[in-house]
Each structure stands twice: as structure tokens, then as C-alpha cells.
Structure 1
Amino acid sequence: MYTVLIAENEPWVLKGIVQMVKAAGAEFQVVGECSNGNEAWSLIQEVWPMLLITDIMMPELDGLSLIKRIAEHRIPMVSVIISGYDNFQYAQKAMSYGVSEYLLKPLEFEMLTEALNRSKDKLESLKDLNNYIVKFQCLLENSQGLPLDTIMQKQRQLIQSILRLQALNNNARVGLLNIMDNRMKNLLNEFGIEFSNVPKTKYGDDASILKYYMAMLEKWYLEYPGKIKSSMPDAIARSCRYIEENFKKNLSLTEMANLTNFSVSHFSMLFKEHTGSSFVSYVNRLRVDEAKQLLRTSTYAVSDIADIVGYASGPYFTRVFKAHTGVSPLEYRRRMGS
């Protein structure tokens, strides 16, 4: 399965691209939709898609700037740009940032399908790297509510497996470690958790690198829960109520930010600070809870339950469900005796 994030500020165009990707083949699964570059950047660091399809002209952060940021952070991802401009300089700059395809509007289904098929080899080569990042993110969020010693052990094993990549692919190892480092530093900074006293790593010294990452993770897991404030701003409380009433619909970060009159980045930070969860994780938890009830009390097929709780893709629903519960929906139903 190749996970796809789509960024396009024209709602009707966005809807059309989503439908085309779904029709292009079951191996392509849309895991996020957004209307501007800032929202796309936030979602990238939550769902870690393998493929980004983005318009070149968007508010707040345009497609080229988004691609450049992805390249600077060395995030393993295939990027496709869609543009209304047949401009050689745009295309040249996009290619310098590692863009795989530069497609012109109006976008035809055959054109997009051919681009997606041409991207398969690159996507296949990124699968293992993407799995490392997704697993790291799931452990950071601790959606299964694991004990601290268990989750720290799982993170230790993950980092050790990345360190062993040196003999096979040192560039991949360095890139993954940098992504993990940036992700932790951003989270710690967002919550005002001091980490300047964490010992620096020594380049090439695996023991030092492991010690550094475990110290950073320990800071996060020990201090993050205590940083969640008990008094929730009215706007965030209203957002939570709105999400709880509408989680089965296709909610977006931009929509929620607009409802609260915050920017996307400010809303994301406040929401996580006061709920203890990212927007995507919050919605997923509500959907998974509803899905668990349906698995226990109904005879609906898993694909039907995925649709009922708000997922357009059955395989993506299964992936999210397993990340939250540790088992697949079918296994959950079997264990519950339904």
C-alpha cells in the first residue's frame, strides 16, 4: 500500500484528485487532504505519507516551498506537483527539489494514473524507510497506552535497528535519525520542555547516538503528560465538541482552524497542548472507539464499518485500528466473540 497526501486549495479540484487517486488502483490509499501548504506540512509530520500530490500555487505556503522544506528535512517521500503554468523555470526548480512529476492542469485521469505508475519503483524503495517513521510516530503518540518501560524498550529496539542500517545504507540511517531528532525537538519546544542538558551525540559512535535519543525520548514521555494544561481555552473546547459530533465526516485542520479563527499551525499547537493529542490522532481515536463498538455489536463487514466511521479506505482503516489497539479489526471482533 502506498499512502498519499493531497494538497490543493480549490475544493472541487481537490475532490476530483482524491477520486482519481482512489480509482487509479487499490495500492494507492489517500490518508490526508488539505487546502494549503502549512496544513500539508503539519499532516506530513503526523501521517507520514509516501506520496505527496500538491498544487504549486497555494495560500500560506506554496507547493514549491513545501517541496523544498521536505527536501531540506530529507523526508523520504515521492512528490508530484500540479500546476496551471507551463513554465520551464517552475519545472526546473521543482526538479531540483527532487519532484518526480510536474503535471499541468486541467489534470486528466490518464495523465495522473501514468504518473502514479511511473512512481511505483521509487515508492517501493521507500517502503522500509516509511515504516520506520510511521512506527516511531505511533510510539511517540503511544496510542495503545503502553507502560513507560514497554514503550521505551520498543523505541530502543527501533533506534538500534536504524543504527544497523549503516552497513547497508548510511544515507538512509542519517536521514531517519535526523527526522526523528527534528520531530522530537519540535515537540519538546512546542510544549516548553527543556532538553538543553541532554548530552550531544558523537558522530559515528552508536552508543552515544542511542544514549542521546533515549534521553530525548525519556524527556518526552515523562514530562509531556504534565505539560497538558487543565484549563482548556473556550475555542479548543468548542473544537473538541464539534469534532465529537462530526468525526464521521471529512474534517480538516484548515476547517477547524477557521472555526476558531486561528492559523493552522497555531490551532495545531494549542489543540495538542490542551488535549494531549494531535488533531489527526484525536479524530482517529473517536473513529476507532466507534468502530470497536460496531465490531462488538453488529454484523457489518469491516469495509462497511470503515465507511460508517469516516474512512474512505478499508486498508487505511485497518492500519489505524491496529496502531490504536494492537490487533486488526477482524482479530478484535474474534477476541470479543462477536
Structure 2
Amino acid sequence: MYTVLVAENEPWVLKGIVEMVEAAGEEFEVAGACLNGEEAWNMIHEVWPMILITDIQMPELDGLSLIQRMAEHRLPVVSIILSGYDNFQYAQRAISYGVSEYLLKPVEFQELRDTLHRSKEKLETLKDLNDYMNKFQSLLDNREALAPKQVMQKQSELIQSVLKLNVLNKNARVSLLNIFDSKLKMLLSELGQETKDIPGYEADNDLSILNYYRALLERWYLASSVSAKASVPEAIERSCRYIKAHYKDEITLTEMADFTNFSVSHFSALFKKHTGTSLVNYVNQLKIDEAKRLLLETAYAVSEVAEMVGFSTMPYFTRVFKSFVGLSPLEYRKRLNP
């Protein structure tokens, strides 16, 4: 499965691109959609997509700057630029940042599908890296479900498996360690925690590296545990009430940041700090909970249920439902309501 993040500031164009990606083949899954570059940057660190499709002109952070930032952080993501301008300088800059394709608007379905399929060979080389990043994120997201000792142990085991890449792929090892380092420092910064006092590690000393990441993880775990006990700010409580009332609509980080008068990055950090999950997962959980109720208590067709809870397409609904429940919607209905 190849996960895709779409960033486009025109809502109707965004919806169209998402639908085209979902129709391009079962191997392509839309992991998220957003309306500006800053929101995309935050979402990249939540869903770790393998492909980014981004408009070149966006508020907050334009597409080229977003891709430049990704290149500087050595994120293993295939990037596809969408532009309304046939500008050679834009294309040159895009190529210098490692952009895979540069497509002119309006984008036709066949053109986008061919582009995605041409990227598959390059994507194969990213699958292992993406798998490590998703495992790392999953452990961070599921902190509340595991005992502290388990969290630390599982994260240490993951770091050790990355260290073993040194024999086969030193570049992959370096990239993953840098990504984990940036992610943990970003999380600690959001909690007001400094990391300057944590000694760095020796690049060729595995024990030194393990001790460094254990120190970061321990500080994050202790700080986030204390933070979770703090009272939820009124703005986040108000956001949750709004989301529960409007979760069937398209809700974006940008919209909620405007709603609370916070920046996108500040709202994202506060929301996750006080709810324990990202906005995307929070909204999807509400949708899936309602879908489960409708599947068991009504005779609506699965496709009708998908539309009623706010999913634009059946494939996307089925994938999200299965990721939360472990069964497809139809299997869920048959097993619990035979």
C-alpha cells in the first residue's frame, strides 16, 4: 500500500485530487488532505505518507518551500507538484529538491494515475523506511495503552533494529535516526522541554546511540504524562464540541486553527497534547463510531452509511473502518448482527 498526502488550497480541487488518487488503484491510499503547506508539514509528521501531491501556490507555506523543508530533513517521500504556471524556473527549483513530477493544472485523471504508477519503482525503495516511521509513530500514539516500561522497551527495540541497517544500508540508518531525533525534539519542544543537556551520540557507537534515544524517550514520556493530567484549555474543549457537532463535514487543521485563533502548528500541538491523538484520528474515530451504530441499528446499505458519516468514497471508508475495527464494514455487520 502506498500512502498519499494531498495539499491544495482550493477545497473543490482538493476534493477532486483525493477522489482521483482513490480511483487510481487499490494500492494507493489517501492518508490525509490539507489546505495549506504548514498544515501539510504538521500532517506529514502524523501520517508519514510515501507520496506528497502538493499545489505550488499555497498560503502559510508554499509547495516548493514545503518540499525544500522535506529535503532538508531528508524525509523519504516522493513529491509531485501541481501548478497553474508553466514556469521553467519553478520546474528547475522543483527538480533541485528531488520532485518526482511537475504537473500542470487542470490535472486529468489519466495523467495523475500514470504519474502515480510511474512513481511505484521509486516508492519500493521507501517502503521499509516508511514502515519504520509508522511503527515509531504508532508507539508514540499508543502511549496511553501501554505501560511505561513497555513503551520504552518497544521503542528501544525499534531503534536497535534501525541500528542493524548499518550493514546493508547506512544511508537508511542515518535518515531514520535523524527523523526520529527531529520528531522527539519537536514533541519535547511542544511540551516546553529543552534537550540541550542531553549529550549527543557517537555515530559509530551503537550503545551511545541507544542511550541518547532512551534519554529523549524517557524525557518525552515523563513530560507527556504530566501534561496529560493538566486541565484541557477551554479552546480545545470548545474545538472538541464543534468537531463532535460537525465531524460529518470536511474538518481541517486550518479551519480549527482559525476557530481557536491559534496558528496551525500551535493548535495541532495543543490538540494532541490534550486529546492524546491527532485531529485526523479524532475525527475518523467519531465517524467510525457512528458508522458502527448505523451498521448495527439500521438497514442502510454500507455505501449509504459511508456517505452519512462523511466519507467521500467507499474505498476510503472501508480502509479507515478496517484500520480502526480490524474488519470491513460488511464483515462487522455480519458478525455482530447476523
Same fold? TM cut 0.5: yes
Instruction: Quote the residue 2:250 is aligned against.
Output: 250
- SS of alignment partner, residue 168 of structure 1: coil
Aligned pairs (5 A) from 1:195-214: 195-214=195-214
Indicate yes or no: 2:14 matched with 1:11.
Answer: no
* CA contact 1:36–1:59 (8 Å) conserved in 2: yes
User: Once superposed, what is the RMSD of the aligned Cα atoms?
Assistant: 2.7
2:154 counterpart of 1:178: no
Q: Which residue does the alignment assign to 1:148? A: 148
The one-letter amino acid of 1:15's match is K
> In structure 2, do the counterparts of structure 1 residues 302 and 192 end up closer, same or farther at CA, with 3 Å as the change threshold?
farther
Give the conservation status (yes or no) of the 8 Å contact 1:80–1:99: yes
CA offset digits 1:168-193 (Å, max 9, x no partner): 11111110110000000000011012
CA 1:127–1:231 in structure 2 vs 1: closer, same or farther (change >3 Å)? Answer: same
Please give the secondary structure, in 2, of the residue aligned with 1:31.
Answer: strand
Letter in 2 for 1:6: V
Following superposition, the deviation at residue 238 of structure 1 comes to 1.2
Tell me which moved more, 236-245 or 193-202.
Answer: 193-202
Distance in 2 between the 1:319 and 1:138 partners?
A: 16
Equivalent position amino acid for 2:244 in 1: E
Which residue number in structure 2 is paired with residue 237 of structure 1? 237
Displacement of 1:151 in angstroms is 2.1
CA positional deviation for 1:256:
1.1
1:175-212, Cα deviation, whole Å (9 max, x unpaired): 01100000000000110124333332111111111111
Name 1:129's counterpart in structure 2. Answer: 129
Could you say which residue in structure 2 is the equivalent of 1:117?
117
Q: Which amino acid aligns with 1:321?
A: F
- What's the CA shift for 1:215? 1.7
- In the alignment, structure 1 segments of 5+ residues that lack a partner are none
Check 1:298–1:227 CA distance in 2 against 1; reply closer, same or farther (3 A cut): same
SS in 1 for 2:145: coil
After TM superposition, the structure 1 stretch with the greater mean CA deviation from structure 2, 25-34 or 294-303, is 294-303
Q: Secondary structure at the match of 1:102?
A: strand
AA of the residue aligned to 1:54: T
- Larger displacement relative to structure 2 (25-34 or 135-144): 135-144
**How many residues get paired?**
334
CA distance in 2, matches of 1:265, 1:236: 14
1:91 equivalent to 2:91? Answer yes
Query: Could you report, residue by residue, the CA deviation over 1:21-71 in whole angstroms, capped at 9, with x for unpaired residues?
Result: 122112111111111100110110101111100010111100000000011
Which range moves more in the overlay, 246-255 or 172-181?
246-255
Separation in 1, partners of 2:202, 2:301: 52
CA spacing shift, 1:137–1:319, aligned 2, 3 Å: farther
Structure 2 distance, partners of 1:147, 1:302, is: 37
**What does residue 222 of structure 1 align with?**
222
The TM-score normalised by the length of structure 2 is 0.89
Instruction: Write out aligned runs for 1:157-168 (5 A).
Output: 157-168=157-168
Task: List gaps (5 residues or longer) in structure 2.
Answer: none
Question: Identity over aligned residues, as a percent?
Answer: 60
Counterpart Cα distance in 1 of 2:157 and 2:302: 32
Deviation, structure 1 residue 333: 5.2
CA contact (8 A) 2:4 2:53 kept: yes
1: CA distance, partners of 2:175 / 2:2: 20
Match of 2:320 in 1: 317
Q: 1:315: how far off?
A: 5.6
Corresponding letter in the other structure for 1:158: L
Could you tell me how far apart the structure 2 residues matched to 1:139 and 1:66 are?
26
Contact 2:11 2:35 in 1 (8 A): yes
Give the deviation of 1:307 after TM superposition: 5.8
Letter of the 1:97 counterpart: Y
